[in-house]
Structure 1
Amino acid sequence: MSDLLQVKLIQVEHGDAILVSYGHSPVRHILVDGGPAHALPSLLEVLAAARVDEVLTLEALVVTHYDFDHIGGIIALLKQRPGWLRINDIWFNGHKHLLPRDVLGPHHGDALSDLIERSHLPWNSAFVGKAVTVLNGGGICLPDGMVAWVLSPTAKELSALAKQWPMVVAGDADSAPRDRLGRNDSWPPPSFFSLVDKRSPPDTSVSNASSIALLLQFKHKQVLLSGDAHSEVIRTSLAARWPGQKLVVDLLKVSHHGSQSNTSTAMLGHVSCRRFAISTNGRIHAHPDQALIARLIGSTSNAELIFNYRTPSTAKWKQRPLAWPKYITLYPGDDDPFVNIVV
């Protein structure tokens, strides 16, 4: 049996929760984010199904940033961590990684920091206890040949986060009406060419800018998990790490659930990729945006759009709009709480 590399985009409503499984005898796992807290049952169902001999070991648990639709499920998971779940390292930039002191407060990021410390779990061990940043992430080697490259954030984004951190409002942050650029999209969409070159306002969210983005390399396969990161940060990292070439990427998990503000044509120009995964049910922010979909399709031939939900926001892309380039779609099975992507 050949080595496995598969990515499960778990259904956690409008959030991210991604289980990466790789290798063979044993199959190893990385969990990236956990969706909002109330989506914990879906997260637990998928994790429990991945157990071997009643145990699941995560080589790394990555929490990309403190937005509730990414961190809430992880807080809930650690508060009631099942005895069968083992965690070898947690990658998360807490307040202590932003400033020389660690002041815990009533916010989601601080709540997770407190949980990690009280549970005596390993925290950023792969980074010698320092922040998860492009500078500190020169290629992290995980067991059995998996290598993780950090593409975001840089020290600049973490410095900006440090200035905002005390101003973060506690509560259910996933209900905040921030990115609604797609709400005015009507169906069918306008012509492909009118959208593919559309200029989108940049994402100005400081928390999204601090998002951890990873390039995972296993054997001859490469997966880019961009969290909610800003495309310019990822583009700059790609250009610096692999200058003068397009990096072949077998799967790109599109940033910020398909917002047009987080995946630019310039960034897509630095990768050669035809498979694009989008994690959202689209019910709060109307993601994915039509301009983003056009941008993805326009960046390659025969693009594959992969959705972890079949909802009104996502299912309409099954039918190719008139005069648009050819592409294919993939949706989860009727009874599956995830879409499974074999890379």
Structure 2
Amino acid sequence: MIRVEALPAAEGDCLWVEWTHAGLPHRMLIDGGSGRRARLPDGLADRLGRLPVHDRRFDLIVCTHIDTDHIGGLLHLFTRPPEGFVADEVWFNCRDHLVPADLLGPRQGDRLAELLRARGVAWNSRAGGGPVVVPDDGTPPVFSLPGLRLTLLSPDGEGLRKLRDAWPEPLTEDSAPDHPDLLGDMEDLFDLDPPTGEEPVAIPWGELADEAGYERDRHPQNGSSIAFCAEDTTGARVLFGADAHAETLVASLSRLGAGHPYRVDLCKVPHHGSAHNTSAALLDALDCRHWLISTHGGRALRRRSEEAQYRFGEGAQPSLRAMARMVRSGGTRPTFWFNHRVPSTERYADASLAAELDFDAVHPEPGSQGITVLVEKGRVRQAPPF
């Protein structure tokens, strides 16, 4: 069984993963949320605080890519590690894997690299110290942890080459722009400022699911995402999609599935449910019923009234287009797992909408954030609270 905790991480990802092997617990951390307040994000700090000091060891920590909402919390984790914190290995593709190391000044990715070197952490050691990358030919590489197999799906060489030419300046809380994919998914269909007091506009779910409206993600940071499938010894599988490009995932999955959809029991939806990373081709490449969506809707939510967010969902994650595609794919009733209960996810708690579109939705308990999912082969269920 694989235990996946989608910790509250605002618009970002912070995934705490645990499993048992030979009677011993093991764990992995995938990203750390944004950590914008010069300290660990509350969700990660609280979760670490539940562990005894002598048991704060991680088999692997993955920084999927250099976007602030993924790397920020990890910077604080390695800058001021809590007592007892140990990471046996870190996966992180930095500028050193792309270009000579003396070309640019300090940046967030460079800063994490400096911290890893200073602390002597085993870094990309399973990849021989080079980049964690899917080769252009052959089966995607498989890496082993005790009781867990990790099949790498992203990035490919092209994804890293494009990042080389776009290594960004560091972002601060004051200067960071809204995430480029948090704006505009719905602006072509709905007015941005609907009059208050009117009846809600019927959302054209069938039209939104149409692949003709698909535009792929072209941001190089997302294309460099480390995404992989984790499988335990019982065959339980979880796909951790990071912010990966759908096309990269499809290419890798096609090399695994031998012409058939690749079974996963749970998929962490790429890029927080962006329409630009959730294509029909990706959904067709997967045999999956359970979809984990990690987001509080995105920073753009704060620019709209709550009523507009709820009724129209413009600029918010998960995208209505992505949700419509997942609802309409596969022919089986999907279940959506949300780690935040906010207007852009609350709409799916509507029982009449769930009955109309034939899906299930699981949210955090009222007044709480974050969600924990227990994954077995052929079975996914919510964990009881601590």
TM-score norm. by structure 1 comes to 0.92
- 2:363 & 2:72 partners in 1: Cα distance? 25
- 1:259 & 1:133 partners in 2: Cα distance? 23
Q: Deviations over 1:180-211 (max 9, x none)?
A: 13454766552322111142221111101111
- Whether the 8 Å contact between 2:68 and 2:171 is mirrored in structure 1 is no
Equivalent AA in structure 2 for residue 46 of structure 1:
R
Does residue 263 in structure 1 map to residue 259 in structure 2?
Answer: no
Equivalent AA in structure 1 for residue 41 of structure 2:
L
- Whether the 8 Å contact between 1:182 and 1:288 is mirrored in structure 2 is no
- 2:32 & 2:107 partners in 1: Cα distance? 17
Equivalent AA in structure 2 for residue 314 of structure 1:
T
Does residue 19 in structure 1 map to residue 16 in structure 2?
Answer: yes
Counterparts of residues 97-108 of structure 1 (less than 5 Å): 97-101=97-101, 103=103, 105-108=105-108
Cα distance, 1:48 vs structure 2: 2.7
Sequence identity percentage: 31
Moved more, 184-193 or 220-229: 184-193
- 1:170 & 1:182 partners in 2: Cα distance? 24
Report the secondary structure of 2:59's partner residue: strand
Q: Deviations over 1:198-226 (max 9, x none)?
A: 42221111101111111111121110001
Equivalent AA in structure 1 for residue 240 of structure 2:
L
Does residue 30 in structure 1 map to residue 60 in structure 2?
Answer: no
Report the secondary structure of 1:181's partner residue: coil
- Whether the 8 Å contact between 2:53 and 2:84 is mirrored in structure 1 is no
Counterparts of residues 193-204 of structure 1 (less than 5 Å): 193-198=206-211, 199-204=213-218
Does residue 83 in structure 1 map to residue 96 in structure 2?
Answer: no
Does residue 215 in structure 1 map to residue 229 in structure 2?
Answer: yes
Unaligned runs of 5+ in 2: 191-199, 301-315, 376-386
- Whether the 8 Å contact between 1:40 and 1:77 is mirrored in structure 2 is no
Q: Deviations over 1:126-164 (max 9, x none)?
A: 111010111296100001x20001100011110111111
2:358 to 295, 312, 326: 326
Report the secondary structure of 1:19's partner residue: strand
2:289 to 249, 257, 274: 274
- Whether the 8 Å contact between 2:65 and 2:221 is mirrored in structure 1 is yes
Report the secondary structure of 1:269's partner residue: helix
Number of aligned residue pairs: 337
- 1:40 & 1:236 partners in 2: Cα distance? 34
- Whether the 8 Å contact between 1:182 and 1:287 is mirrored in structure 2 is no
1:148 to 140, 147, 150: 150
- 2:158 & 2:362 partners in 1: Cα distance? 37
Q: 2:163 matched to which residue of 1?
A: 161
Change (3 A) 1:53 1:162: closer
Does residue 308 in structure 1 map to residue 339 in structure 2?
Answer: yes
Does residue 127 in structure 1 map to residue 124 in structure 2?
Answer: no
Report the secondary structure of 1:148's partner residue: strand
Cα distance, 1:40 vs structure 2: 1.7
Unaligned runs of 5+ in 1: none
Equivalent AA in structure 2 for residue 193 of structure 1:
G
- Whether the 8 Å contact between 2:341 and 2:369 is mirrored in structure 1 is no
Equivalent AA in structure 2 for residue 29 of structure 1:
R
> Which protein has the larger Cα radius of gyration, Structure 1 or Structure 2?
2
Counterparts of residues 179-198 of structure 1 (less than 5 Å): 179=181, 180-182=183-185, 184=187, 189-198=202-211
Equivalent AA in structure 2 for residue 57 of structure 1:
R
- 2:201 & 2:339 partners in 1: Cα distance? 22
- 2:335 & 2:156 partners in 1: Cα distance? 30
Counterparts of residues 36-51 of structure 1 (less than 5 Å): 36-38=34-36, 40-49=41-50, 51=51
| Structure 1 moving runs of 4+ over 6 Å | none
